[in-house]
Amino acid sequence: MKSDKLRLFTGIELPETIRQAIPDCQCHLPGARWQTFGQLHLTVNFIGAVSPALAEEIAARVRDTQFAPFSVVLTGAGHFRTRAVWLGVEPEAPLIDLHNQDKAALTALGVTLDNRHYRPHVTLARMASGAQREDIARYVKAFRDFHCAPFDVRQLALFSSTPGVGGSRYEIIARSGEAR
């Protein structure tokens, strides 16, 4: 039986020019399942599975979100153990502020969020089980100096995530500043 819940997260949609630069560093890593062009984004808060009614409340809250625009740049590669490799984001402070603002608004709606430390990043690849630490360390070292052009962050987006063959498919269902 299919669930009627929606799997959601808030994030930043990357400009097309930035997404086009990322494949330059999606190579030479055994066991990597590279994110596709359409999967590249910067997560602000992972929400998880919610009812359609709560999803609409969250979408309305995202549309009402206001923050001062800021510029960021994607920087050197890093990893989360042997599960994923990513590009960092600098400066982190405005994204951490947006994360905290968004987290407070989501919590006020009754959403329970993960309390792990927030590290702004763009996931490049998810790693197959059995990925070798040495391969990941070599990859991170090779791309530690990666930088793309700066880009402006002007909107927060609400994404839905639908699991499928080849990874999840993401769709933006609301953006800050949009009319209802």
Q: Is 41 a catalytic residue?
A: yes
pLDDT of residue 147: 92
In a domain, 79, yes or no: yes
Buried b (16+ CB within 10 A) or exposed e, 158-167: bbbbeeeeee
pLDDT: is 62 or 1 the higher one? 62
Q: Give yes or no for residue 93 having a pLDDT over 90.
A: yes
In a domain, 36, yes or no: yes
Mean pLDDT of the chain: 93
User: Which residue segment(s) compose the domain that 47 sits in?
Assistant: 6-175
Average pLDDT over residues 140-159: 96
pLDDT of residue 165: 83
pLDDT of residue 167: 83
User: Which residue has tokens 């494949």?
Assistant: 23
Average pLDDT over residues 137-144: 94
In a domain, 1, yes or no: no
Total domains, the chain: 1
Please report, to the nearest 10 degrees, the dihedral formed by the alpha carbons of residues 91, 93, 98, 103 taken in order.
130
pLDDT of residue 179: 66
CA distance 45 to 103: 7
pLDDT bucket at 23, cuts 50 / 70 / 90: confident
Task: List pLDDT tens digits, range 108-138.
Answer: 999 999 889 999 999 999 999 888 999 999 9
| CA angle (26 as vertex; 149, 168 as ends), nearest 5 | 100
Q: Give yes or no for residue 1 having a pLDDT over 50.
A: no
Residue 51 identity = S
In a domain, 180, yes or no: no
Residue of 28, 79, 121, 147 with catalytic role: 121
Q: Is the dihedral of CA 50, 66, 114, 29 positive or negative?
A: positive
Show the DSSP H helices in 109-132 as ranges.
none
In a domain, 170, yes or no: yes
Task: Give the pair of three-digit tokens for residue 123.
Answer: 């996931």
In a domain, 64, yes or no: yes
Q: Is 79 a catalytic residue?
A: no
CATH of the domain at 99: 3.90.1140.10
Q: Give yes or no for residue 24 having a pLDDT over 70.
A: yes
pLDDT of residue 139: 93
Task: Give the pair of three-digit tokens for residue 41.
Answer: 């984004």
In a domain, 148, yes or no: yes
Task: List pLDDT tens digits, range 44-92.
Answer: 999 999 999 999 999 999 999 999 999 999 999 999 988 899 999 999 9
User: Which residue has tokens 């984004």?
Assistant: 41
pLDDT of residue 76: 93
CA distance 121 to 41: 9
In a domain, 144, yes or no: yes
User: What count of residues does the chain have?
Assistant: 180
Residue of 28, 41, 79, 117 with catalytic role: 41
pLDDT of residue 164: 86
